Amino acid sequence: MNLINYGEKFFDELEIAKYKRKEVSVEVELNQISMSSTGDRAVTVIRGIKDKKLGIFIVDSDDEGEIKKGIEQAAKNAMANEKDEKWEGLPGEQKYNAPNIEINYEIKNASPDFFVNLLNEAIKDVRARDERAMVAGGAAGSSWLEMRISNSHGIDIMQEFGSTFMYLYVAGRAGNSVTPGIMDFDVRRDMQLDKDFVVSSILEKLKYAYNTKKSDKNVGNVVMEPLALAELLYFTLIPAISGERKVKNTTPLSDKVGQNVLDEKITIYDDPWHPMSTNPIIADDEGVAARVNKIFENGVFNGFLWDNYWGNISGYGSTGNGTRNLSTGGIGIGVHNLVIEGGKKSKEELMEDMEDGFLISGFQGAHSSNPDTGDFSVVANPAFKIENGKIVGSTVFMLSGNVYSLLGNVADISREQRKIVVMGNGVIPHMLFENLKIAPVSR
Amino acid sequence: MNLINYGEKFFDELEIAKYKRKEVSVEVELNQISMSSTGDRAVTVIRGIKDKKLGIFIVDSDDEGEIKKGIEQAAKNAMANEKDEKWEGLPGEQKYNAPNIEINYEIKNASPDFFVNLLNEAIKDVRARDERAMVAGGAAGSSWLEMRISNSHGIDIMQEFGSTFMYLYVAGRAGNSVTPGIMDFDVRRDMQLDKDFVVSSILEKLKYAYNTKKSDKNVGNVVMEPLALAELLYFTLIPAISGERKVKNTTPLSDKVGQNVLDEKITIYDDPWHPMSTNPIIADDEGVAARVNKIFENGVFNGFLWDNYWGNISGYGSTGNGTRNLSTGGIGIGVHNLVIEGGKKSKEELMEDMEDGFLISGFQGAHSSNPDTGDFSVVANPAFKIENGKIVGSTVFMLSGNVYSLLGNVADISREQRKIVVMGNGVIPHMLFENLKIAPVSR
């Protein structure tokens, strides 16, 4: 707490957040290892408040001298700023829940070699099992994070954990043309990346990608895969549960607490300690105790997520959802690991009764969705046509709608969930929707 | 050359590229200093070739032990890769031109304080001179680069230089509405950032932004400011002069060398040593001697830019335009400092004779232009309506066309040039175009 004491000479209250990240990354381009890299980087963020004036300084070091200089610079930054009359104070001492999660220290010392071999084997497998297939892109690697959050109100929490990932993006050559690219991935908090699953899952879909089917239907039953669902939710539903938007009145959920908002089959919580989570935090980026937050329970909206600042303003208090943007140093409200509860049927069973429908693996254009209303307009690609319970070919179509109407009427949910790390962390099942309005893509 | 010798045990030839970057950055949000930061980062890229198989490794360190490990890992990466039969070899020893450029060492030790004060004064000036104005965003800072490129063919070149920047983004409150945001900036290779110019230039435009004019014309005379012109060129003309595209036949300039392609008023060269350049390199990222390359001379296309790889394949040889992507380690073809020669008239004179026309400060949507054809479709915003040589209000309109038709018929070019660092480096004047087809924006 030496540095905190030093900082108290300049500030009424202050926070020092240190992040150290070790990363290994190996990349694939056109069936080759295009590069590998290692990184080892420290970043310290100083956030100090004097007379309700905020100063933030970021230094890419964990050296004590640099941090002291940073504290002084943060104080100068604060000086010329205006008072934030809404500022109430940094969080105070916490009681932390100790989740029962084993940390895998192998990840800390993972070598590029391990991932080079894994990817080379995966490339060999893909090409041996389908000679028309090429691994257009891919990557694998590890990330190990050590963070320590301290503040002048008695918070001083240290935590460390790591994760590994791999993904491949495969296309097939069919004469002069190339199939749509098929992607699959694995993300884990140990070193047991499931290369065979990734390869098999891709090749199974690639078989059908050689056979492109035009989509000319206007209404269809649709199974969305976890990644597709996550892409949609991260630009529509997730922003809407932020307490900041509640205060600013820019969420359609403003007056919906306690009400039926989604289909009663849907239960969603933010659970950093879920067995599949790769973000098993004890404390958030402000040092506030992490916890499991129910967001929707059988379709009923349970309440917003808060960081310390907006939680103080609203009176709800922080829900442990303060997340730091390391390029601005600022705290925002974020989900640590969004879990959508699985259902009873297998994902195959969701498709079994489909006479004529679609499977969606991914969306394009989800980023232009409107979080204020939940409206979206996306292209389903890659997507597959299903006839009599079986995939018969790949297709592309438009899907426009509103996330609350969509999730207000879910036909079924798979029991399998996938760990997703695109945009944010999540553990997401497949979902079946009936009679969705769809439109052909005009090109 | 110790490390190169070490690497020759593993490779037929190899290159070690070390980059050390010191950065200071201060950001503004809503009239406040939102944060300041310092960074000091080393990255070493190892590129080795064994039996025409390429291996790349990146490590964020300049430590000898780490680089040795990196060399070994790069060798392992190369091993499993396929031969690149087109590979001819890394560049050999060079004769470097020593440009007459003074390096400003103040920038190396610039402190965040300097930029905090500069921005605070700028914020104060903006608000004092227009009480409805707010500085919505902005930043200032410095960047100092030290690079050393060595290879096993005798290249070993060290160079260092720095630059500073500032920009402000200002909007005005007019009753319940807010004007379009007006941005201006300065970029230099010394510490003399011209705050007064930035503030005055913004406020001069902001005056007119309070007065929004609908644009309902179909044809108009247009002056494009340097930034707007750069935004357009960097997604249309610049990709088209890459030798890689010549080899792959994806540029409309393929068979145009020696021909009149642009208006004869236009002369464009890549000149790293231009007095306004902030990228005064002696050697490119492969250690090839930098030089001034004429690209268009009085409208005639003089030839493509090449890096070592594509230059070898084409037989033209490198033009010193190899630029490294530090996230993939790979070399591509890039412009170091695109200079469009200025004309005789002042920018005010370009507008003087305009009875009824437009001034365009920036474009939206330029990134979706088609570099294969030069076609673009953009929204001019912010833009201003000119009547009888004077700005009378702000406006927005669509501009669709083809960059070769546009630059094939230029009415005039200003003698003033601006240093631009958006997308790439450039020194760009204003241009006047007559009778451009424009369209109102439908909302």
Q: Quick one: pLDDT at residue A442?
A: 60
Residues of B in contact with A143 (CB under 8 A): none
**Strands in A275-411 per DSSP E:** 293-297, 300-301, 322-324, 331-333, 338-340, 356-360, 363-364, 375-387, 390-402
B70 neighbourhood in chain A, CB within 8 Å: 38
Which pLDDT belongs to residue B266?
98
Under 8 Å between Cβ of B433 and B222: yes
Q: Residue B133: what are its φ and ψ, rounded to 5°?
A: -80, 145
Q: Does one domain contain both B17 and B101?
A: yes
Per residue in A300-349, pLDDT (tens digit) is 999 999 999 999 999 999 999 999 999 899 999 999 999 999 999 999 99
Report residue A240: phi and psi, to 5°.
-70, -15
Residues A262, B70: Cα–Cα separation, whole Å: 52
Domain boundary among A152, A179, A207: A207
Range with lowest mean pLDDT among A177-186, A285-294, B3-12, B336-345: A177-186
Question: Smallest Cβ distance to B60: which of A40, A59, A61?
Answer: A40
User: How high is the pLDDT of residue B111?
Assistant: 94
pLDDT at A443 over 90: no
Is the Cβ pair B35, A70 closer than 8 Å?
A: no
For strand B356-360 and strand B219-224, is the pairing parallel, antiparallel, or unpaired? parallel
* Cβ <8 Å between A33 and B27: no
Residue A424 reports pLDDT greater than 80: yes
Contact, B139 vs B27, CB < 8 A?
yes
* CA end-to-end distance (rounded Å), chain A: 62
Beta carbons within 10 angstroms of residue B346's beta carbon: 13
Instruction: List phi, psi (to 5°) of A352.
Output: -55, -40
Among B181, B207, B233, where does a domain finish? B207
Q: Residue A21 to residues A43, A107, A144, A160: CA-CA distances in angstroms?
A: 9, 12, 6, 10
Residue tagged 């009547």 (tokens): B387
Largest CA distance in chain A: 72
pLDDT in tens, B137-166: 999 999 999 999 999 999 999 999 999 999
Residue A169 and residue A22 in one domain:
yes
The minimum CA-CA distance between A78 and chain B, rounded to whole Å, is 8
Residue found under tokens 């934030």: A84
pLDDT over 60 (residue B33): yes
Is A237's pLDDT higher than 90? yes
Q: pLDDT grade, residue B216 (50/70/90)?
A: confident
Q: How far is CA B340 from CA B292, B417, B425, in A?
A: 13, 8, 12
**Minimum distance, in Å, between the CA of residue A53 and any CA atom of chain B:** 10
Alpha-carbon distances, residue A250 vs A124, A126, A246, A253, A394 (angstroms): 50, 47, 6, 9, 38
Asked if A222 and A356 count as a contact pair (C-beta separation under 8 A), the reply is: no
Average pLDDT over residues A46-68: 96
Strands (E), B3-117: 13-29, 32-50, 53-59
**Residue the block writes with tokens 């597709």:** A228
pLDDT mean over B417-441: 91
**Residue pLDDT, tens place only, B363-405:** 998 888 999 999 999 999 989 999 999 999 999 999 999 999 9
Q: Which residue in the set A33, A58, A80 is minimally distant from B37, CB to CB? A: A58
Structure tokens that stand for B6 in this block: 């070490």
Q: Looking at the DSSP assignment, which residues form a beta bridge with residue A18?
A: A44, A148
Q: What is the pLDDT of residues A89-109, one digit of tens each?
A: 999 999 999 778 889 999 999
Residues B33, A57: C-beta atoms closer than 8 Å? no
Q: What is the mean predicted confidence (pLDDT) over A68-74?
A: 96
Size of interface A-B (CB pairs under 8 A): 104
Closest-approach residue (CA) in chain A for B66: A38
Asked if A203 and A215 sit in the same domain, the reply is no
The reported pLDDT for the residue numbered A80 is 86
Q: Among residues A67, A148, A162, which one has the least CA distance to residue A324?
A: A148
Q: What is the rounded average pLDDT for all residues in chain B? A: 94
Collapsing DSSP states into helix, strand and coil, what is residue A128? helix
- Could you say which of B168, B184, B207 is where a domain stops? B207
Asked whether residue A441 carries a pLDDT value surpassing 90, the answer given is: no
Is the bond preceding residue A382 a cis peptide, omega within 30 degrees? Answer: yes
Q: What tokens appear for B114 in the block?
A: 């300097």
Q: What is the mean pLDDT of residues A21-30?
A: 96
CATH code for position B17: 3.30.2290.10
B314 and B177 co-located in one domain: no
B chain contacts of residue A41, beta-carbon cutoff 8 Å: 41, 60
Question: Considering chain A, what is the average pLDDT of its residues?
Answer: 94
Residues A157 and A220 in one domain: no
| A182–chain B Cβ distance below 8 A for any pair | no
A200: number of Cβ within 10 Å? 15
Instruction: Name the band, by pLDDT with cuts 50, 70 and 90, for residue B1.
Output: low
Q: Does B325 touch chain A (CB under 8 A)?
A: no
Residues A218 and A200 in one domain: no
> Which pLDDT score is estimated for A214?
78
Q: Tell which of A20, A56, A62, A73 to mutate to test the B interface (max B CBs under 10 Å).
A: A73
* Angstrom distance (rounded) from CA A44 to CA A16: 7
- Helix boundaries (H) for A45-194: 64-80, 112-129
Task: Measure A167 CA to nearest chain B CA, in Å.
Answer: 17
Asked if the model's pLDDT at residue B353 lies above 90, the reply is no
Tokens 């644009």 sit at which residue?
B215
In this structure, how many other beta carbons lie within 10 angstroms of the beta carbon of residue A427?
23
Which one-letter DSSP state was computed for residue B135? E
- Are residues B189 and B234 located together in one domain of the fold? no
Yes or no, beta carbons of A73 and B112 under 8 Å apart: yes
Eight-class DSSP state of A109: G
Same domain, B197 and B228: no
What pLDDT score was predicted for residue B442?
Answer: 60
Among the partner-chain residues A35, A37, A76, the one whose CB lies closest to the CB of B113 is: A76
Rg (CA), chain A: 24
Distance CA A144, CA A23 (A): 6
ipTM of predicted assembly, 2 dp: 0.86
DSSP A368: G
Q: Which of the 8 DSSP states describes residue B212?
A: B
Same domain, B187 and B219: no
- CA A162 to chain CA centroid, nearest Å: 15
More confident residue, B354 or A138: A138
The token pair that represents A85 in the structure block: 């009359």
Other CB atoms within 10 A of residue A40 CB: 14
A364 interface with B at CB cutoff 8 Å: no
Q: Are the beta carbons of A58 and A41 closer than 8 angstroms?
A: no
Contact A152, A78 (CB under 8 A): no
Which residues are within 8 A (CB) of B27 and not within 5 positions of it... i.e. 6 or more apart? A328, B33, B34, B35, B36, B137, B138, B139
Of the listed ranges A215-224, B195-204, B360-369, the one predicted with least confidence: A215-224
Q: Are A300 and A167 part of one and the same domain?
A: no
- Total domain count, chain B: 2
Question: What per-residue confidence (pLDDT) applies to A281?
Answer: 95
Q: Which of A355, A92, A395 is nearest to A221 (CA)?
A: A355
Which of B35, B79, B364 is best to mutate for the A interface (most A CBs within 10 A)? B35
Q: What residues in A contact B112, CB-CB < 8 Å?
A: 57, 73, 77
CB contact under 8 Å between B38 and A60, yes or no, is: yes
Separation of alpha carbons B157 and B147, rounded Å:
8
Best probe of the B interface among A24, A33, A44, A109, by most B CBs < 10 A, is: A33
**Alpha-carbon gap, residue B304 to B256, rounded angstroms:** 10
Q: Judge: A60–B74 Cβ closer than 8 Å, yes or no.
A: no
Q: Which two tokens stand for residue A200?
A: 């098999």
**Is A201 found in the same domain as A129?**
yes
Strand pairing of B219-224 and B268-270? unpaired
Do A42 and A73 fall within a single domain? yes
Structural domain harbouring A380: 211-443
At residue B287, the pLDDT reads 98
Q: d(Cα A217, Cα A229) in Å, to the nearest integer?
A: 21
Q: Which residues of B touch A71 (CB under 8 A)?
A: none
> Cβ atoms within 10 A of the Cβ of B140, count?
28
Beta carbons of A374 and A236 less than 8 angstroms apart: yes
